[in-house]
Structure 1
Amino acid sequence: MSKSGQKTILIVEDEEFNRIYFEELLNQINCKVVIAKNGIEAVEICKKNASIDLVLMDIKMPLMNGYEATQAIKKIRPNLPIIAQTAFALLGDKKKSLENGCDDYVAKPVKKDTLVKLINKHLTL
């Protein structure tokens, strides 16, 4: 794939290990990665960077949680796909994520194949 067709994915994650894990997975499938460590940074990045193609949004974060960040981002870029991800996979989390504006949901730990399928569902890699 040429660099011009490369997709840019924003990883919104406050845990360093998880950020590194997602970054490694996305680099393996030729995606450019942008990092935000909290919801406030994510909203600012989405305001300033029109090249973001998809957001991988952690739900449990300090300062601004993933639901609040998703709602703010959707006001700016309503068609930007946002995939919620959470380590606390409780019954109803998927429904709550979708109700708060996320386009999809994945529970941690996330397997590469699962993540690739979700990204492909929302983007053409």
Structure 2
Amino acid sequence: MEKNPYIELAECLLSEEMVEYFEVVMVEKTLETLDVTLEERDNGFEGYKPGQLRPNGFYEESIVRNYPVRGRKMPFHIKRRRWVDVETGKSVSRRWDLVTKGTHFSKESAAFLKDMLGQIPDYGPLS
């Protein structure tokens, strides 16, 4: 099965860390945006034995701003996984440090904008 070219493009624009831990599952192109949906990969979880965690769906998606592409905003819709420890029944998830504090920009985008503009602009609501 041939891979969607928009998904391949999105993977090229992501940091190595993002590609390692998240899978691009959908890319939607509109006149104003190129929306990229990422789901956390089920790569196991450090500190737990195989079979100790059971998948338990995803948290509500978070939206992170990234560089615009050809005049289109390119938000990442990130779905983080959660698991349940079968021994204790407690919910388990990873903590990700994907955005610059106080913004909705990816770390790479925020660093680029701050370097180019001297500040990180406020583009208003994410919708």
TM-score, length basis structure 2? 0.30
Larger % of strand: which?
2
Larger % of helix: which?
1
TM-score, length basis structure 1? 0.30
